[in-house]
Amino acid sequence: MSDEALTVLSAHFFQGAVGREYWTLFGAGWREGARARRSRRLLEILNRSFEAAVAAGPAVLTSDFFPPDQAN
């Protein structure tokens, strides 16, 4: 996956409350295990996306992040 694609996906993930809670709880464990250059790059992108999402304002609630299917 390209850096650009990861940035887009992680930015969306961290807009939601669940994504932010996950990273708050488990991000440190990911950082501790990052030894390879690619792993460190992944974490750099994830951390930057997380920090940008938090700076942008409150998280989107889960009920709003996954709206019901409107097709029916």
Number of domains forming the structure of the chain: 1
Range of the domain at 41: 3-56
Which value, to the nearest 10 degrees, does the dihedral of the CA atoms of residues 31, 57, 62, 27 take?
Answer: 10
66 in any annotated domain: no
pLDDT digits (tens, 9 = 90+) for 8-61: 999 999 999 999 999 999 999 988 888 899 999 999 999 999 999 999 999 998
pLDDT digits (tens, 9 = 90+) for 4-14: 999 999 999 99
72 in any annotated domain: no
Bridge partner residues of 16 (DSSP): 60
pLDDT for the residue 51: 97
Q: Which residues of 38-55 are buried (b: 16+ CB within 10 A; e: fewer)?
A: eeeebeebbbebbeebee
